[in-house]
């Protein structure tokens, strides 16, 4: 009896799926409520084909309540509905209004002389962002707990990797002063021959293939639809012009070499990459430096996989509503919002240098996967994704970034043990910009850390001296070391009172 009660409670908690059929019915019911001659606003996806029975007095196009991919996947006997749009020389057209675009039509509704269709005499047609479509269904968004539960029942990975995967799908808020887009790189390298990276690839492909065409980064630019109801075929473009598109290599070749156009998008953060790399983890790998989460799949870890989950597939539209509504809530991440992260990042650097010594310093060298300057910027991006997922900015989000960074460092520490030559190369590179004496090296590390969290890369004399005193130096030692750094060429003053490290 207890088991049955628990099952009923679980079913009660399941969110109603936002199915295509539900959206079609709601669209049709809304049209039926309008009275002829009424001024209306209707949004949908523009189809650039003339409907059956159209008069010759104007241009007539069709509006679909479903995006191209869902329209093409409807069965021949499934319910369909459309709205006809009448366009004249007086119709104002703005924004992107091409076949497949999401548009808002304003005008007067009337009967249409074919079937049970209706027509809007369009006064204006305005191209809208694809995300606006999903935000209209915000009541179907999943809670943070629902998203976690859904992935925990579907994705089998270690906790930090699964969490990073969830964060990645939310994209990254715009960060002022940076040219990067909203993309994210969830990258995982193999380690040895038995790391089960191919199993991870199959799992990520399952996730990727579950997403609609509009949010997948593919070579397919046009969606072809054959409609049995109207007896027409459509060629529709992708309405999603944002960076909120996902990419997973479709073939094994892509696990080793990505196409050049995909690499460019990844480097510019113009796509969300779910990237298993079927190459041995190397601390000098360029992608490891540029990825927000460059994990290493160690052989000792449990085999990753996706559980084929009917509920997961049904709730994909709800997940898109969740992602796009959270994206709207946090579109920009300015420095004021990242201050908790910067403080946590500086503490983490100090503690890990003390705990791990030279191996950690090697990882933070300019060519290393944890390069300090890049890692704080990538950490801000991860922080932004976590905040989008949580729905608000908290200090816990900064600690979550730290936990993921610690997991990444632990992965690469294992790799460094088997790559002594790469480790020595990174250490030599690191020591090129850090003096040999212990105290001087520690002081210059503090300066580099402060510069890494400064938008300009500059640090005031006062902040540097204050941070050294906080780190255990006397004021006299701090002032003396600063003069030595300036004389030795480790630091220069671009403006009086401002310091900038060299290297």
Domains and CATH numbers, the chain: 20-128 (2.40.50.200), 138-417 (3.40.50), 433-501 (1.10.10.10)
Q: Which of 278, 299, 207, 349 is nearest to 287 (CA)?
A: 278
427 pLDDT band, cuts 50/70/90, is confident
- Average model confidence (pLDDT) across the chain: 89
Tell whether the model's pLDDT for residue 488 goes beyond 80: no
- What local confidence, expressed as pLDDT, does residue 268 receive? 95
Query: In this structure, what are the phi and psi dihedrals at residue 430, rounded to the nearest 5 degrees?
Result: -60, -40
Distance, in Å, from the CA atom of 163 to the CA atom of 220, rounded to the nearest integer, reads 30
Mean pLDDT of all residues in 242-250: 96
- What local confidence, expressed as pLDDT, does residue 8 receive? 44
- What local confidence, expressed as pLDDT, does residue 502 receive? 65
Is residue 333 a contact partner of residue 174, using CB atoms and an 8 Å limit? yes
Q: How many residues does the chain have?
A: 503
Residue with the larger pLDDT of the pair 204 and 452 = 204
- H-type helices in 218-334, by residue range? 260-267, 286-290, 310-314, 316-329
498 pLDDT band, cuts 50/70/90, is confident
115 pLDDT band, cuts 50/70/90, is confident
- State the DSSP H helix or E strand holding residue 102, giving kind and residue range, or none if neither: strand 102-111
Distance, in Å, from the CA atom of 334 to the CA atom of 182, rounded to the nearest integer, reads 14
The answer for 46, left when phi > 0, alpha when psi is -120 to 50, beta otherwise, is beta
Tokens for 48, please give them: 């650039």
Distance, in Å, from the CA atom of 74 to the CA atom of 21, rounded to the nearest integer, reads 9
**pLDDT per position as a tens digit, 361-370:** 899 888 899 9
Q: Enumerate residues 6+ apart whose C-beta is below 8 A from 71.
A: 45, 64, 225, 227, 234, 236
The answer for 472, left when phi > 0, alpha when psi is -120 to 50, beta otherwise, is left
Tell whether the model's pLDDT for residue 462 goes beyond 90: no
Rounded to the nearest angstrom, the gap between the alpha carbon of residue 471 and the centroid of all alpha carbons in its chain is 36
Going by their DSSP bridges, the two strands 184-190 and 222-227 should be labelled as unpaired
- What local confidence, expressed as pLDDT, does residue 435 receive? 66
């Amino acid at each position: 009896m207890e088991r049955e009660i628990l099952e009923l409670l679980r079913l009660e908690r399941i969110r109603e799926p936002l199915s295509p059929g539900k959206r079609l019915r709601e669209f049709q019911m809304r049209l039926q409520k309008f009275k002829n001659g009424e001024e209306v606003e209707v949004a949908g996806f523009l189809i650039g084909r003339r409907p059956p029975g159209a008069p010759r007095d104007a241009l007539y196009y069709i509006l679909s309540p479903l995006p191209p991919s869902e329209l093409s996947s409807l069965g021949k006997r499934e319910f369909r509905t459309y709205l006809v749009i009448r366009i004249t020389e007086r119709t104002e057209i703005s924004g992107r209004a091409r076949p497949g675009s999401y548009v808002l039509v304003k005008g007067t509704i009337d009967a249409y002389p074919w079937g049970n269709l209706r027509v809007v005499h369009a006064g204006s047609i305005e191209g809208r962002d694809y995300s606006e479509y999903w935000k209209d269904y915000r009541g179907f968004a999943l809670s943070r707990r629902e998203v976690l539960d859904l992935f925990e029942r579907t994705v089998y990975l270690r906790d930090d990797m699964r969490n990073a995967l969830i964060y990645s799908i939310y994209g990254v808020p715009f960060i002022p002063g940076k040219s990067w887009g909203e993309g994210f790189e969830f990258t995982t390298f193999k380690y040895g021959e038995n790391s089960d990276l191919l199993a991870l690839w199959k799992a990520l492909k399952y996730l990727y293939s579950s997403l609609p065409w509009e949010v997948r980064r593919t070579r397919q630019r046009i969606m072809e639809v054959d409609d049995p109801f109207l007896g027409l075929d459509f060629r529709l473009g992708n309405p999603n012009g944002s960076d909120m598109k996902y990419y997973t290599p479709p073939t094994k070749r892509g696990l080793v070499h990505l196409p050049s156009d995909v690499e460019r998008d990844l480097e510019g953060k113009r796509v969300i990459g779910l990237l298993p790399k079927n190459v041995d983890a190397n601390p000098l790998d360029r992608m490891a430096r540029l990825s927000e989460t460059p994990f290493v799949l160690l052989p000792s870890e449990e085999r990753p996989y996706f559980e084929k989950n009917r509920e997961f597939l049904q709730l994909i539209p709800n997940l898109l509503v969740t992602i796009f509504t959270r994206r709207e809530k946090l579109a920009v991440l300015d420095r004021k919002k990242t201050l908790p992260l910067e403080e946590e990042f500086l503490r983490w650097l100090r503690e890990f240098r003390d705990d791990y010594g030279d191996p950690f310093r090697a990882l933070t060298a300019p060519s290393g996967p944890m390069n300090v300057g890049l890692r704080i910027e990538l950490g801000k991006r991860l922080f932004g994704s976590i905040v989008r997922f949580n729905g608000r900015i908290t200090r816990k989000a900064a600690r979550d970034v730290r936990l993921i960074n610690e997991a990444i460092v632990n992965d690469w520490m294992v790799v460094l043990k088997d790559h002594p030559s790469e480790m020595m190369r990174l250490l030599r590179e690191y020591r090129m910009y850090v003096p040999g004496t212990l105290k001087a090296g520690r002081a210059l590390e503090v300066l580099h850390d402060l510069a890494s969290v400064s938008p300009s890369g500059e640090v005031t004399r006062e902040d540097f001296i204050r941070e050294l005193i906080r780190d255990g130096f006397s004021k006299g030692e701090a002032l003396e070391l600063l003069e030595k750094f300036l004389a030795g060429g480790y630091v220069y003053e671009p403006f009086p009172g401002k310091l900038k490290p060299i290297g």
